[in-house]
Structure 1
Amino acid sequence: MARRDIVLLGEQHEDPSHHQWQLQTLAALFQLRPRMIIGFESFPRRAQPVLDRWVAGELTVQQFLEQSEWAKVWRFPAELYLPLFHFARLNRIPMVALNVERSLTEAITRSGWDAVADSQREGVSRPARPSATYVEYLFEIFRHHDRIGGKSTTELGKDSAEFRFFTEAQTAWDRAMAEALARQLANSQAGERPLVVGIIGGGHVRDGFGVPHQLRDLGASNVGALLPVDPRHDCASLKPGLADAVFAIPPIPLGRPPPPRLGVRLEEVEGGVRLAEVTAASLAESSGLRRGDRIVSLAGAPVTRAGNVVAAVRLQPAGTWLPLQVRRGEETLDLVIKFPPQQ
């Protein structure tokens, strides 16, 4: 696998064992190919300067998460990915943002590829036509969505415009990541070709569909694909071509997940961050927060992005108090969130 130009490491985003396997695999590949570049699906292209500063050692973890807008662009717990980010920084391995803005794929899902202006495509070229088998796979995913374009997916067939646009959005997503990976090879000097590793969702990797298919269309053929699988999976059902190799990853025993620390859903509005929802009986409700409140400051620091709030709450030690100021209508209120002690 270390002789490949590009290696794709799939994942289920929320599975801690998959990220531990990715870290181990990265370390093994790095021993054989220390000239390495790591691409992450979790970051849109505009975050590239932040990734560069992180690898250079210029940012703290909190600064990195805030400036990359992690809570907005990815939303999965940063703790799952931080060991990978630290590995890259420790070894001065360049990190590359593979993704595009969610607004682009949403626009294609609504109206189709051709309806999106070139200026809004973030430089992504027209995707290669997907195989019939990939279309079947995408249709199963499509049917798992409750509604698309205001219509129930159970009422929509493969010939519907909604599914066609959905497929175009998915293949544009694949294409964007493939282009970002292939560009790293194109930019390398003769005789100094790096090993480019992609950390991306397994659905973009499996069966040679998705990103591998788009890479082949771009002229990158020396590509490896590795996937983690549940060890309880029946091996007889693993069909040829799923990946170059699969790894049975024992699940990590987990206790009951802790409840949300605050119990709110945030949304960014002009001039700040608004509480779109406040969960009943949550810490937020008991602290006096209400739906519609706009957070002005936390611990005296102005709040302009949802990521500021998420990072502050995540890093607040148990048993401490966090003062905040909110606007409720024309009124400005000073409140205090009292985090309970560690149980």
Structure 2
Amino acid sequence: MTNFSISRRNRILSLTALLLSLCWSNSWAAITPAKKPVPKDCVPLGNWVIPGSGPTTQQDVISRAAKASVVLLGETHVNADHHRWQLQTLVALHAVRPNMVIGFEMFPRRVQAVLDKWVAGELTEKEFLRAAEWDRVWNTDANLYLPLFHFARMNHIPMRALNIEASLRRLVSEKGFYGVSIEQREGLTRPAEPSQAYLDYLFPIYKQHDRKDKQKGEMNQDDPDFRRFISGQQLWDRAMAQVLHRALAESTGSEKPLVVGVMGAGHVLHGFGVTHQLHDLGVQNVVALLPWDSDKSCKNLVKGVADAVFGVLPNVSESFQPQFQRLGIRFEMGRGGAVVLQVEKNSIAEAAKLQDSDVILEMAGLPLKNTEDVVTIVKRQVPGTWMPLKIKRDDQEIQIIAKFPLLKH
């Protein structure tokens, strides 16, 4: 098999994906760290725990969180139990603070008008998902998220689109913040500098990831690739923090709303990401809550990982089956096909050796002219079948095979 070198840009983007898949802000200052190692079953199913302290109650967590300016609810995107926990937490918070705004990482800013129409009751589910370009932008089974969207609509809670275009993150990773024109920045301001703790946390992960093309020798945190990787991640965090901050600043009533952000856990972990950017924007009262898989190592349950965590089942619940096949890529149309922006970890695409910046020209022998072609072809694949892909990589056309596994019963 021919070996293809991975470009610097691809490495940065894949590192971002790795970070979010590995990551599960700041804890309440009054909590004293545990002096003894946490027990094996550190977060029992259906229970709240304050990292560094111990078990607590739902009433205590919700009453504290409801007093915050911003509450961040982390998730692993494909875990159904994480979304059930998010809905339960939103319901509890709404009972205490009904004046609420919910921001979602799943939507880019340009579809904000679609979210407004959804909350106003002007769109059906199908119309909403199509207009929001769900299958192209997020490409995760919408049934995982629809209960959250319906909760917002049923209770007239404004929804905010938190994300930016993947192409902008890629540009900043390549050229740096000031290397991207003001017109391309989508109104973003320069992110706050990362804390040293954040750099120390990410650097070992960065060094362990595919570094075959680096010269042997000691690397340090001034490595240009590492700094570009950090810049791309921080831009993502800054973008979401700005929208959450704006939701507070633009409120017209005497009482500020409780602003809740729904996002991947990697943006919430240890307060390094969105919380850090919110603090830089002047929002100090931020509470971070995370679901905690029952098989997750208790060594990670340290003071500061979150304000509180809630025990859930690991991975995807057995009762949940995806409603359609997923290849596991983020993409945009261009260059004669579907340009791969990001390959998800542990996906069919990763197993097929797809790489960031590959251009998929054909799927199952069919040319790709628009987003709907990609989505339709993938959805209709029968479990257990193989789908040939013609791709262009480094000006060379090659064939690879995407193998769709049998679904579990």
Q: By the TM > 0.5 criterion, same fold?
A: yes
Q: 1:275 touches 1:293 (CA, 8 Å); kept in 2?
A: no
Distance 1:268 1:7, change over 3 A: closer
1:182 aligns with 2:241: no
- SS of the aligned residue for 1:162 comes to helix
- SS of the aligned residue for 2:98 comes to coil
AA partner of residue 6 (structure 1) = V
Matched residue, 2:227: 164
- SS of the aligned residue for 2:145 comes to helix
Bigger RCO (CA 8 Å, 6+ sep): 2
Alpha-carbon distance, 1:167 to partner: 0.5
1:310 aligns with 2:378: no
AA partner of residue 111 (structure 2) = A
Matched residue, 1:64: 128
- SS of the aligned residue for 1:228 comes to strand
1:99 aligns with 2:99: no
1:228 aligns with 2:291: yes
Alpha-carbon distance, 1:158 to partner: 2.8
Alpha-carbon distance, 1:19 to partner: 0.6
What does 1:81-92 correspond to in 2, within 5 Å? 81-92=145-156
Q: TM (normalized to structure 1)?
A: 0.76
State which of 116, 120, 123 in structure 1 corresponds to 2:187.
123
AA partner of residue 186 (structure 1) = A
1:192 aligns with 2:265: no
Alpha-carbon distance, 1:57 to partner: 1.2
Alpha-carbon distance, 1:243 to partner: 1.1
Alpha-carbon distance, 1:5 to partner: 1.0
1:206 aligns with 2:263: no
Matched residue, 2:85: 21
Matched residue, 1:327: none
Q: 1:57 touches 1:89 (CA, 8 Å); kept in 2?
A: yes
Q: 2:139 touches 2:330 (CA, 8 Å); kept in 1?
A: no
What is the alpha-carbon distance in structure 2 between the residues aligned to residue 243 and residue 170 of structure 1? 19
State which of 118, 130, 133 in structure 1 corresponds to 2:197.
133
Alpha-carbon distance, 1:293 to partner: 2.4
The gaps in structure 1 that reach 5 residues or longer are 280-288, 296-303, 319-342
State which of 294, 303, 324 in structure 1 corresponds to 2:367.
294
What does 1:25-36 correspond to in 2, within 5 Å? 25-36=89-100
Distance 1:31 1:241, change over 3 A: same
What is the alpha-carbon distance in structure 2 between the residues aligned to residue 222 and residue 20 of structure 1? 25
AA partner of residue 138 (structure 1) = L
Matched residue, 2:54: none
Give percent identity, aligned residues only: 48
Matched residue, 1:299: none
Alpha-carbon distance, 1:267 to partner: 6.6
Q: Which moved more, 1:251-260 or 1:175-184?
A: 251-260
AA partner of residue 233 (structure 2) = Q
Alpha-carbon distance, 1:199 to partner: 0.1
Q: 2:168 touches 2:184 (CA, 8 Å); kept in 1?
A: yes
1:248 aligns with 2:311: yes
Distance 1:193 1:153, change over 3 A: farther
What is the alpha-carbon distance in structure 2 between the residues aligned to residue 101 and residue 187 of structure 1? 23
What is the alpha-carbon distance in structure 1 between the residues aligned to residue 107 and residue 375 of structure 2? 17
AA partner of residue 228 (structure 2) = F
Aligned length: 297
Q: 2:71 touches 2:288 (CA, 8 Å); kept in 1?
A: yes
State which of 109, 112, 117 in structure 2 corresponds to 1:53.
117
Distance 1:105 1:192, change over 3 A: same
AA partner of residue 101 (structure 2) = I
Offset from partner CA, 1:66-97 (integer Å, 9 cap, x none): 11111221122212111111111111111000
CA-atom RMSD in angstroms: 3.4
